[in-house]
Each structure stands twice: as structure tokens, then as C-alpha cells.
Structure 1
Amino acid sequence: MISVKNSKLVIQLIAVIIFFVSVNFASATAAVNENPKHSKVRVYVSGKSDIDKITSHDLHFDHAETSENYMETWLSENEISLLRKSGVSYQILIEDWNTYYNSLEKMSASEIRDAIQLSILEFNVSHSIYGSMGGYMTFNEVINKLDSMRIEYPNLISQKFSIGQTVQSREMWTVRVAKNPDAPAGRPEVWFHSLIHAREPMSMHQNIYFIYWLLENYNTDPVATYILNNRELYFTPVFNPDGYEYNRSTNPNGGGFWRKNRKQFGGNTYGVDLNRNYGIYQFWNSANNGSSTDSTSDTYRGKSPFSEPETQNAMNFVNSRNFKGILSYHTYGNYLIRPWGYVDAPSPDENIYQNISQDMVLDNHYTLGRSNQTVNYGVRGVTDDWYYHDSGHSKIFAMTPEVGTGSDGFWPQQSRILPLAKQNVSQNIYFAMFSGPFMSANSYKLNTEFYSPGDQGSLKVYLKNKGLENAQNVKVELVSQNSNVVVLTGAYSFTDFSSFREDSVSFDFSLSHGAVINTGYKMVLRIKQNDTNTVYTKNIHVVVGSGNVLLLDSAENGTGKWTASGGFGISTVQSFSPTRSFADSPTGNYTNSSVRTLTLLTALNISSAPVVVLSFMYRHAIDTLDNAYVDVSNDGGASWRSVKFYNKTVNTWTKETLDISDLAGGSVNMKIRFSLVSNGSVTNDGIYIDNIKLVNYNSIPTGITGVNELPFSFDLGQNYPNPFNPSTVISYSIPKSSNVSIKVYDISGKFISEIVNKFHSAGNYEASFSGEDLSSGVYFYRIEAGELSQTKRMMLLK
């Protein structure tokens, strides 16, 4: 066993061998088996001597999951033979990949239908991304999907075009996604590509899903609309069609393990790893051994930089465009990797990479850093290094997301396709926005936790342009949604807000003496660019009274109200009051490459009072490449969204107050979670949390203002009462005349009834819904008004 103290050293030593699945075996055999049996193996490594034994037999691993005293990876029969000869202990976890993959349960037609309906309700994406190859699309199905997108959305996506042919003369089909897509308009450009490794189809599926999110949400979601109006996004879903088609030919139901392209070197020896074939020569031939010179290896780098037609095509395409950013999607590992790969050193833009990476992974919690800090090995000849730094083009911010966990693997189970695709939408949105001007609010702070009727209050908003270009004609406004709260400060305007600039503004407001105790009143914070384009919206609640306490925990009674995993527990080293606190690593530093969580054990029903405020005390010492998170789930822990992340050092106890109402969503099944995610680099003391408090308040539907005002914005209120039996009232606000439809669905997405379908003038409205003939349970209600839509949950409890 390896001590915690030595775990970092061992993981770094593992880096020496973890990279290319390379066996110098061709000379000993007359032919190479192109489809060898693969097994999942746990290799026990107790120190440098074991690592030396492995490397002395020319055995190297790819996509290994590392722990303190072992690593797990998929190995071929030949590689297992070499491992056996090395004398290092190992254990076969899964005997045969093909048998394992074929045993995975496929989705039924009804399950697929339910998953798509849930996609509609959560992301407003109604198109299926499932295919015929074990749930994954074949190359031809991807081509047909791009053609059908063009037919359905001709003003938002271009006709597919090829950036060049592969070694087997297939086209590398690409599309441009933007408003008026047929002619580039000089807007900031971003390229998304996937399937450079042929056994990683989930990388392609998340790109297809993101395209559909953009297309289906145009003129509905303000951010999707802004992106398509102000960016040019390019997608090459299948970078390596030859390798992908080869996998289809050998494994028509999915699960093919071929990685490289299909260049033939004689006999049965094929393929160059396209993600080890990029220049410059300094990158391609780095001394870190991050690729193989053996043509039988899965990480064979080729005879020279850009020796392959696929990488030559990419080079020419990049040099012909003006890309600001490129995401090269892969599977697996839940990583977001940045340059450098060829050397274990930060790039000149390390601070920019760090800032954008932390924001990008706020929802999916991917591990951040360079290759040596994430996958724990160096790489050479990879996409990101050349995209980021080559004299043939301007600097491009390039990164590699690795989608899915180790248990998902290269071919995740069919039921995981949509969840993993949805997991990366916010990451892609952020990166698209980052390529140009991108005004946002880093945070905001009310001057007190709660108010009394008749009080004066203030809100301070911390602004940042998170994009690469200056923002023009910026407008920041705070708009009350109820007459009991009056905003006293007008909008702020900035003619020019430079890239990465930070600033703050303050708004004063007053509450009427008629404000109701234990009620939350909504204000909407909006940031606009070019006066009219809304790029940021945040609902902020002014809460009156001390509210209803749902949870109060100072850690004195242990973790009884929580599920602790990965090392989270009770600390007596630090506490705010009186003697204990929650800590991710109570007895010392957290370890490398770990995920630690503290999850509320019993879900809370906040549907009848859906304005929720979470407060707690905290202090922390966290490496800049690691993050602690506060997460919220509105479905009992099935999915999570983050409210905020923490790193670096805060040496004194500090109070945090977070309005989590939007993420909680009036749920009948709400949970909160504290988590810490570390990479394979530096560790630290971690985070301490104390005096956790959850309070909820009643909400006042936007339409109920007490005066005959027209609504400021489109809004769907939380039904009241909730839970209900048998009837409830739904309030909604329409800012302009349009036809309005409100439909109700059950938890599986099955349509129940339409309770509104008529033309409305701008105004505030209410509709009644009766569940007299329905069973108890959770239901969705969805409003559509012209190009606007919104969905919420309600609960029938009989």
C-alpha cells in the first residue's frame, strides 16, 4: 500500500508509463491482429520499482484511471502478456470488452421516447440523436443528420462542405452554424470537432446535440439567439471517418475499439494516431515520450508532423480561417485539458485558461489542468498545442474535453448518451461566448440577508467581460417584478468595456410597508450588449422576514443528515461554532485525483414556498487547479447544477448567502451537495463548512402586482398551491401579444392536457388546472407564447 504522503509521487511516476497503448510486438509475429481481445485490468503499483518493471517491457497505457496504489485500463492480450512477464501484480476486472459491451442493456422504444421528452422539457431539444449502431449514429447517419438540419433550418446552418479527404478518400464533412450561414460575416469564429479517435463516438453525439440546442432555441433562448447572431460556429462531427467506418464494419452494433486512421503500412499494420500527428516538430518530437514510434501502437505518431491527409486538412482549414477557439472533443475521463501537452509547463496564457476553464466546468465538474495534471501523463503532437501556438495562424485558445467517467468508457451505455450530451451544453455555450465580447456578472451581494416591510436595500453587482473582445454599448439594469419592491437606481451604461475588465455597480431599492412577511419578491438583473442583446439574466429575490427554516446543521451531531463520500466527514481541527465543522479531508490534505461529496440525505419539498436561501460559514485552502462546489438538485439527486465554486485560500471564517431558488425550481425533491474535485497535481487542506442553513419563502407570482401594470418580461409562475389536490392555479405574464399554449405532461413526458390555447394581449394571466382524474405524482407544465417557452414542475398529492 502507498501512503497518502507518497501518493502524488506515485501518480507522477505512473505518468512515465501512462500514455500510448504501445507494444513493440510486430517483429515477433508475422501478422498483427487488428481486433485483439481487450480486458479491463487493475495494475497494482507500489513504487518506482514496479513502474521500471513495466516500462522495461515496453508497455504503456492509454486512458488509465489512477488511484493511490493502482491504475485501471483496457489492455489487449499481447499487452497483458507483457504485463505478466514484468512480474507486476494485476487483476482482470472485465474479461472481454466485446462480451461486456454486448451485455449492456439497450433502451426500449418507450425509454427513448421518454428520454427525448425529458430533453424537450429540460433543454427544449426535440430531435433525436440516437442511431442504429447500439444507439450511436453511423457515419452515413451523421451525414444525413447534417443534411436534415440544413433542410429544416436553412437560415441557421450551412450546407455541409468538406475540408478535405481522408487517406481512404472519405470527406471530412463540416458545417457552419450562424445566422445567415452561407457567407462568413467576420464574426468571432469557433471550431468544434470530434471523433479524431474512432472509438469515441460520444464526443460526436454531444456536438450534434449542441447544434440542435442552438437551432431549436433560436429566438426562444436569448443566449442561443445571441450566439447565432454574433458568432460563427464550425462543426466537424467525424474527424476520422475511415477509422469510424472500420469500427462499424467490425462491430455493427457498436463497441469497435479501433482508434487510429486507416493508413496501411504493409500486411495488417494500419493507422496513425491523428492526435499525435500535429506539429510543430518541437511538439511532435518532444522528449516526454508522449507518443509511439512503433506503427503497431495505438499512439503511433506517423513519420513526420502532418504526415496524414486528415491532419493536413485540419492545418489548412485552420490557417484559412480566423478561429478564436477550438474544442477537440474526446472520451473519456471527465477532464478539460489545456496546453501545454508536449512539456509539463504552463502556457503563457495560463491565467486566462484557468479562469475560463473554471467557469466552463461549473455544471459538469470536469477536472481541470494540463495533461500531466489531469490524465497524469505528457502528450506530444496533439491538436491543442499546435492550434494554440503556430506561426501560420493567430493564437487560438484550444482545449480538449474528455466526456464521461471511467465507467462510461469509450462507448457509454445507450441510456447515457443524452445525459452526457446535456452535461456539455453549458460548457459549449461558455466557450462560444468567450470567443468575442462576453459581459457577465461574476457575483452579486445584497446588503443584508433578509428585510422588513418599509426597508431600504442595496444590491452590488460585480461585472466582468469574460470574452476576448471589448464589449460595446453595455447596459446593466435591475427590474422589479412586483410593485412592493421599487428599484431606485436607473440602468448603468458603458460605451466600451474592455476584454477581461472587472467593475461593479450598485442598485438601491425600497420595500413598501405592505410587503408580506416570509415572502420573496423577484427582481431581474439583465446585462445587454449593443444596447439590445441580452447576454446575461439572473433572478434575484428580496426576502422579507426570517422565513421557514428547513435545515440547520452545525456539524455537532455528525453526518447523520448527510451522505458523505470520498473522505468528507467531521473535523475538530477547525470550527466556527462551537467545536466541529464539515470537511472534505478532516485529518489532512485531500488526495490527488479525487472526488469528495457531502450530500443532503433526505430530499426537501419546497414547492409551496419555492424561494430558497442557502447560507453557511466557510474557510478553505484549495489549489488553483482544484475546485470546491455548492450544488443543487431539483430531482432528488439524479442531476445537479452548481451555484458557485471555491478555490485558492480564505484563512478566516466567511459567511456565504446564496439564492438557489432558480436551480431548486419549486421542487418537491430538492437536495444540496458540497463537493471537492482535485486533479493529479498539488493538494492542499481543502474546505471547511459550518452552520449550514436552508430557509424558504413564499413567492408572489409575477403577475400579481397590486396595480394594473403591463409585465416587464415573459414569465411562468410557480403554481399555487403546490402540492395541490385536486386543483391549482398557474400564473403567467406575456410582454407582447401572441398565441399562448399551456400543456401539462406527466413525469415520463407523456402529454396529459392543454389548459390554455388562445390569443393573448400583453398582460398578466391565471389559469386553473384540475388533477381530479390523475394519480398523485410530479407533473410538468409548459407554456409556449410565440417564440418563447418555459417549463416548471408541480406535484399532485392526494
Structure 2
Amino acid sequence: MRPRLRGGRTTVLAALLSLALAAPIAAAQDRTAPAAGPAAGTTAHPRLPHQYEVTGPATPAQRTALTATGATVDEVHAGKVVITADRAQARAVRQLGYALRRLPDPPATAPAAPAGAAVKDFPSGYAKYHTYDEATKEIDALVAKYPAILSKQVIGTSQEGRALLALKLSKNVTKDEAEPEVLFTAHQHAREHLTVEMALYLLNEFTSKYGSDPRITKLLDSREVWIIPDLNPDGGAYDIASGSFRSWRKNRQPNTGSRNIGTDLNRNWDFKWGCCGGSSSSTSSETYRGASPASAPEVQVVAKFVRSRIVGGTQQIKAAIDFHTYSELVLWPFGFTDDDTGPGMTRDDHDAFAAIGKDMATTNGYTPEQSSDLYITDGSIDDWLWGDQKVFAYTFEMYPTSFLGGGFYPKDSVIPKETTRNREAVLRLLEIADCPYRAIGKEGQYCKGS
């Protein structure tokens, strides 16, 4: 159960944030500090963050206060949450008055490899996950096999020079037609490898079924589909570079004046950046927002691409899904405010968002809710896509529901089921992308020709 609790938020949040920020978290600047005592059956790795079950937080305000310590909230239940935190962040959470229980580390977790060590593959039990090079090879093979409906663009490079790709799917793929466009993005957070598999699944499904599946054929005949399969290839490579998992979240961008590495890409977007207690200014934080809006090169590249889809003054991208793990959620804007209709969103906008989100959730069994029902976030891609570009943008938090199912690292045996699980939701979003207000019966008011 994920509560939808409201009321009394501003006062409580202010008090909790003050307490959290007063906690002595300066030690978090040193990633080499010893970790908290390990749970039974685990091995302490001082360079790595760990997951903890926190008993007590039950409201969005209380959960937002947890993130002020620099930790991330990974899953939410009634009266309990799971966080990822280093030693200092865990101590700060305890100083908020909560009890913490250290959870087992991901399978085969190992200390950091020496600088310059070669990137290795996924560990045993995860070999069917794709490394960046493996994914690129599969994409190139699909482009060669289906050149009439699939094309590849290099839209920029990551911090470490890896190509960031945008794949286009459409009947007349070489032409820029006046058709509704839909964007699918994946892997903003390094440890969320299942999202790359989701992007590859969509590429394979659309290409292999075009011409034989009437529904997919009709959609590619009338839509332009964009897939950016890997926003954070550097972080993903680093997460497995030792041959096991590091539970790494951010990109691999150096931070001036600090030895802490990385920016949380999904707190770096240039809309309500750093506005509302939903990200951190500390380079040691899991949710470090970056030095300035869109300071991360990967965010710059994707934002520039999205703006390139403005044709004749109109944004051609009408809807989007950003894939994450985990918790099995369908989320919609806004994250920076708990108001249903924050600045830049009308009641009809909200109602259309909610209707489409709830409809998609009926197909995959996820829980649908406004992003801020969990906790406040600012500088997120969904808020930017709507607030800046008026794109009906959703976040899907994929399998599992909890750390008991593998958390950020479910075994590769789940890939077919958990990617296929989102097929119907994706198709429904594509079908309604030409006029999202049709979801609330107001297509005549908002959509020309309806």
C-alpha cells in the first residue's frame, strides 16, 4: 500500500527539513568513511551506500524530510520506507527520530575496482542484461534489418564520451511528417538496468511486429516514436565495472572543489530546479541537483533534442514515458508541489493526466498517483517536459514492488515478463497521444479536427 496522505504538509515539512539539515552530515563528503554495521549475512563495503528500512515516516512531508539528509527514498509503504544512504546520511535519518534496519546488499556487491579498471559484464544471474556496448550492437543490428521504419541518430555524448542515441520509428522514417510524436526514455539512474531492457524490448516489438500486428502497424503509420534507450551510460558502466554491483545512481561528472562524483540527472532538469526541498545541494547526496540547471551534459543533450522537435512553434512530442525502477508505479506531474494543479497546470490538464495514468495502470497492475504523493522532487524530467514543453509525461517505476523482489537488481529471468508487462500501457499512450484530452471527453474543446 502506498498512502495518498495530505494536509498539514507545509508546517511539518519545514520543521523536519530544519532538523534534517541541522544534522551533522559533513562526514558524508568522504565516500571512503566506514559503513554502518552490516546486516547479518552481508559484507561491509565502506565505499558503497546501503539500503535501510526506516520505520515511522508515513506522510509525504516526512518522506521529503528524509531526502534532505542526502538519502534517496526507494520504496514507500504505510509507516515504513526503504532508503539508500551512506553512513552519515543514515546517521542523520536516525537523528530525525527513526529506527533503521540495514538490508542485505545486492548480490555479488564488491568494493570499488582500481581506477582505470576495464568495464566488466554483469555478474552471474544477470548475464542477459545488456551492457552499453551490447545494447548498441543490438540497436545497430535492428537498424540494419529494418531501415524502412527504424533510424538512429547520435544526439550527443555523455560526460565520458559515450554516444547518446535517439531511435526513431515510423512508416516513413526518413521524413519529418506532421504526426503526433511520443518519446520513451530510460536509464537516468545508473543502477536501474531493467529500464534499458524495456527500451530494447520496445525497439524489438515495434520492428518485428510492424506489418503483421494491425495495432502496431496502424500506430507506426500515424505516429513518430522516439526512444532514447540510455541517458546515463557512464553511470551504468561504472555500476558494474568491478564485475558486481555498486548501487550507483548518478552520472560520472566531476564536481569542482569536491572529490564526490556525479549529478542526479533526474534532479537536474531546468524547471523548478532546486526550488522546493526536493533535491540536494550537497555533492555527496544521492540526489545532488548539480551546479546549475541542466549542468549535466546528458540532460543538456536530451533537452536540446526535445526542443529540436518544436516545428513551426509547436512541440511535436505530445506524450512521454521515462522508465525507472523500482516500486511498480505510474506517476505524473507535478513533483515539486503537492497541489493537484500547480502553476502551469489547469484542472483539465490534471484530470487528463490522471485519467490516462490510471488507465495505463489498469493494464500493468502498477499504482497510479501524482509524483508528489510520494515525496517532493524538483528538477525532474516529467516536470520539465510538462512545465516547459507541455508534453504529457509520465514516469513508470518498474518491477519489483520491494527490495524483497530484488530491488534495483532483479535477476535477468524477470526481463521478458516485466518488459512485456508494459506493452499495453505503451500502446494506449501512443493511441491517445494525438489528443490526450479525449481521456476526459473534451477533445472537441482542445483538439482540432476532433
**TM more than 0.5:** yes
Structure 2 CA distance, aligned partners of 1:237 and 1:467?
35
| TM-aligned CA distance change 1:24 to 1:355, over 3 Å | same
Structure 1 CA distance, aligned partners of 2:25 and 2:247?
19
Tell me what 1:316 maps to: 304
Write out aligned runs for 1:701-780 (5 A): none
Tell me what 2:216 maps to: 224
| TM-aligned CA distance change 1:264 to 1:302, over 3 Å | same
Q: Residue 188 of structure 2 contacts residue 232 of structure 2 at CA under 8 Å; is this kept in 1?
A: yes
TM-score by length of 1: 0.46
Structure 2 CA distance, aligned partners of 1:77 and 1:98?
20
| TM-aligned CA distance change 1:93 to 1:227, over 3 Å | same
Q: Residue 279 of structure 1 contacts residue 386 of structure 1 at CA under 8 Å; is this kept in 2?
A: yes
Q: RMSD of the TM alignment (CA)?
A: 3.8
Secondary structure at the counterpart of residue 221 of structure 2: helix
Q: Residue 7 of structure 1 contacts residue 69 of structure 1 at CA under 8 Å; is this kept in 2?
A: no
Structure 2 CA distance, aligned partners of 1:351 and 1:8?
19
How far has the Cα of 1:240 moved from its partner?
A: 1.1
Q: Residue 28 of structure 2 contacts residue 284 of structure 2 at CA under 8 Å; is this kept in 1?
A: no
Structure 2 CA distance, aligned partners of 1:47 and 1:439?
34
How far has the Cα of 1:371 moved from its partner?
A: 1.4
| TM-aligned CA distance change 1:10 to 1:239, over 3 Å | same
| TM-aligned CA distance change 1:57 to 1:361, over 3 Å | closer
Structure 1 CA distance, aligned partners of 2:67 and 2:378?
22
| TM-aligned CA distance change 1:247 to 1:23, over 3 Å | farther
| TM-aligned CA distance change 1:225 to 1:23, over 3 Å | farther
Tell me what 1:146 maps to: 139
Tell me what 1:260 maps to: 250
How far has the Cα of 1:39 moved from its partner?
A: 3.8
Secondary structure at the counterpart of residue 167 of structure 2: strand
Residue type at the aligned position of 2:333: P
Write out aligned runs for 1:279-428 (5 A): 279-280=270-271, 283-286=272-275, 288-321=276-309, 322-346=316-340, 347-348=345-346, 349-373=349-373, 376-390=374-388, 393=389, 395-404=390-399, 405-406=401-402, 407-428=405-426
| TM-aligned CA distance change 1:227 to 1:33, over 3 Å | farther
Secondary structure at the counterpart of residue 139 of structure 2: helix
Tell me what 2:312 maps to: none
Structure 2 CA distance, aligned partners of 1:7 and 1:324?
28
Structure 1 CA distance, aligned partners of 2:359 and 2:434?
16
Q: Residue 22 of structure 1 contacts residue 297 of structure 1 at CA under 8 Å; is this kept in 2?
A: no
Structure 2 CA distance, aligned partners of 1:47 and 1:353?
25
Structure 2 CA distance, aligned partners of 1:388 and 1:364?
24
In structure 1, runs of 5+ residues without a counterpart are 102-129, 443-462, 471-495, 499-798
Q: Residue 24 of structure 1 contacts residue 297 of structure 1 at CA under 8 Å; is this kept in 2?
A: no
Residue type at the aligned position of 1:270: I
How far has the Cα of 1:323 moved from its partner?
A: 0.9
Q: Residue 70 of structure 2 contacts residue 286 of structure 2 at CA under 8 Å; is this kept in 1?
A: no
How far has the Cα of 1:23 moved from its partner?
A: 11
How far has the Cα of 1:192 moved from its partner?
A: 0.6
Q: Residue 277 of structure 1 contacts residue 302 of structure 1 at CA under 8 Å; is this kept in 2?
A: yes
Identity %: 27
1:23-52 Cα offsets, whole Å, 9 max, x none, are 98784478423973444322221789x969
How far has the Cα of 1:277 moved from its partner?
A: 0.8
Structure 2 CA distance, aligned partners of 1:23 and 1:132?
42
Tell me what 1:164 maps to: 156
How far has the Cα of 1:223 moved from its partner?
A: 0.6
TM-score by length of 2: 0.79
Tell me what 1:520 maps to: none
Q: Residue 131 of structure 1 contacts residue 141 of structure 1 at CA under 8 Å; is this kept in 2?
A: no
Q: Residue 11 of structure 1 contacts residue 68 of structure 1 at CA under 8 Å; is this kept in 2?
A: no
Bigger-Rg structure (1/2): 1
Residue type at the aligned position of 2:98: V
Q: Residue 27 of structure 2 contacts residue 88 of structure 2 at CA under 8 Å; is this kept in 1?
A: no
Secondary structure at the counterpart of residue 40 of structure 1: strand
More helix by share: 2
| TM-aligned CA distance change 1:293 to 1:319, over 3 Å | same
Secondary structure at the counterpart of residue 161 of structure 2: coil
More strand by share: 1
| TM-aligned CA distance change 1:56 to 1:230, over 3 Å | closer
Residue type at the aligned position of 1:151: A
Q: Residue 133 of structure 1 contacts residue 248 of structure 1 at CA under 8 Å; is this kept in 2?
A: no
Structure 1 CA distance, aligned partners of 2:21 and 2:410?
24
Of 170-179 and 261-270, the range deviating more from structure 2: 261-270
Q: Does 1:275 align with 2:270?
A: no
Q: Which has the higher contact order (CA 8 A, sep 6+)?
A: 2
Secondary structure at the counterpart of residue 284 of structure 1: coil
1:73 to 58, 76, 83: 83
Structure 2 CA distance, aligned partners of 1:188 and 1:246?
36
1:188-237 Cα offsets, whole Å, 9 max, x none, are 11111100111111112112112211111112111100011111101110
Structure 2 CA distance, aligned partners of 1:468 and 1:272?
38
Q: Residue 291 of structure 1 contacts residue 299 of structure 1 at CA under 8 Å; is this kept in 2?
A: yes
| TM-aligned CA distance change 1:7 to 1:366, over 3 Å | closer
In structure 2, runs of 5+ residues without a counterpart are 34-45, 111-122, 310-315
Residue type at the aligned position of 1:361: A
Aligned length: 404
| TM-aligned CA distance change 1:222 to 1:67, over 3 Å | same
How far has the Cα of 1:162 moved from its partner?
A: 1.3
Q: Residue 42 of structure 1 contacts residue 90 of structure 1 at CA under 8 Å; is this kept in 2?
A: yes
Q: Residue 69 of structure 2 contacts residue 92 of structure 2 at CA under 8 Å; is this kept in 1?
A: yes
Structure 2 CA distance, aligned partners of 1:133 and 1:467?
49
Tell me what 1:609 maps to: none
Secondary structure at the counterpart of residue 389 of structure 1: helix
Q: Does 1:193 align with 2:185?
A: yes
2:106 to 97, 100, 104: 97
| TM-aligned CA distance change 1:51 to 1:192, over 3 Å | closer
Structure 2 CA distance, aligned partners of 1:15 and 1:51?
7
How far has the Cα of 1:357 moved from its partner?
A: 1.3
Q: Residue 291 of structure 1 contacts residue 379 of structure 1 at CA under 8 Å; is this kept in 2?
A: yes
Structure 2 CA distance, aligned partners of 1:198 and 1:7?
28
How far has the Cα of 1:172 moved from its partner?
A: 0.7
| TM-aligned CA distance change 1:352 to 1:290, over 3 Å | same
Q: Residue 40 of structure 1 contacts residue 97 of structure 1 at CA under 8 Å; is this kept in 2?
A: no
Residue type at the aligned position of 1:97: P
